[in-house]
Amino acid sequence: MSLQNIRVVLVNTSHAGNIGGAARAMKNMGLSRLVLVDPEDFPSSDAVARASGATDILDGAQVVATLEEALVGCTLVLGTSARDRRIPWPLLDPRECATASLEQAEQGGEVALVFGREYAGLTNGELQRCHFHVHIPSSPEFSSLNLAAAVQVLTYEVRMAWLAVQGQPTKMEKLETTAMLDVQPVTADELEHYFGHLEQTLIEIGFLDPAKPRHLMPRLRRLYGRSGISKLEMNILRGILTETQKAVRGEPHERRQE
Ligand SMILES: C[S@@+](CC[C@H](N)C(=O)[O-])C[C@H]1O[C@@H](n2cnc3c(N)ncnc32)[C@H](O)[C@@H]1O
Q: What is the CATH number of the domain that holds 240?
A: 1.10.8.590
Residue at 98 is within a domain: yes
Pick from 145, 151, 153 the residue to mutate for probing ligand 1's pocket: most ligand atoms within 8 Å of its CB.
145
Question: Which pLDDT score, from 0 to 100, does residue 174 have?
Answer: 63
Q: Confirm whether 141 is domain-assigned.
A: yes
**Domain identity same for 145 and 185:** no
Is ligand 1 within 6 A of the CB of residue 98?
no
Query: What per-residue confidence (pLDDT) applies to 19?
Result: 98
pLDDT at residue 88, rounded to an integer: 87
Question: Is residue 117 assigned to a domain?
Answer: yes
Alpha-carbon distances of 26 from 32, 65, 91, 116, rounded to whole Å? 6, 22, 23, 16
The pLDDT assigned to 227 comes to 84
CA–CA dist 38, 10 (Å, integer): 9
The reply to whether 212 and 110 lie within a common domain is no
Q: Do the beta carbons of residue 231 and residue 248 sit within 8 Å? A: no
Report whether residue 79 contacts ligand 1, using a CB cutoff of 6 Å: no
Shared domain for 81 and 125, answered yes or no, is yes
Please tell me whether the peptide bond between 43 and the residue prior to it is cis, using omega within 30 degrees of 0.
Answer: yes
Q: Are residues 14 and 124 in the same domain?
A: yes
Q: Give the CATH number for residue 122.
A: 3.40.1280.10
- Verify that 6 and 124 share a domain, yes or no: yes
Does ligand 1 have an atom closer than 6 angstroms to the CB of 118? yes
Answer yes or no: do 123 and 32 share one domain. yes
Same structural domain for residues 149 and 241? no
Q: Which domain holds residue 66?
A: 2-166
Count of the separate structural domains present in the chain: 2
Cβ neighbors of 8 (< 8 A, separation 6 or more) are 22, 26, 31, 33, 34, 35, 112, 113, 115, 151, 155
- Determine the pLDDT at residue 173: 66
- Predicted pLDDT of residue 208: 92
Alpha-helix residue ranges (DSSP H) falling in the chain: 16-28, 45-51, 55-59, 67-70, 94-106, 124-127, 147-166, 177-183, 188-204, 216-226, 231-249
Q: What distance in angstroms lies between residue 150's CA and the mean position of ligand 1's atoms?
A: 7
Q: Does residue 124's CB lie within 6 angstroms of at least one atom of ligand 1?
A: no
Cβ–ligand 1 distance for 94 under 6 Å, the answer no
Task: Identify the pLDDT of residue 164.
Answer: 94
Ligand 1 centroid to Cα of residue 187, in Å, is 53
Q: Is the ipTM of this complex over 0.95?
A: yes
- Ligand 1 within 6 A of CB of 152: no
Minimal CA–CA distance to 78: which of 110, 102, 112?
112
Ligand 1 centroid–CA 94 distance in Å is 13
- For the chain (258 residues), the mean pLDDT of every run of 10, in chain order, is 92 98 98 98 98 98 98 97 84 97 96 97 96 96 97 98 91 69 84 93 94 91 88 90 92 67
Q: Would you state the pLDDT for residue 252? A: 83
103 and 14, same domain (yes or no):
yes
Last residue of a domain, one of 111, 144, 166: 166
What one-character-per-residue DSSP string does 124-137 give?
Answer: HHHHTT-SEEE---
Asked if residue 188 and residue 131 are part of one domain, the reply reads no
Q: Is residue 171 part of a domain?
A: no
Mapped onto helix, strand or coil, the DSSP state of residue 143 is coil
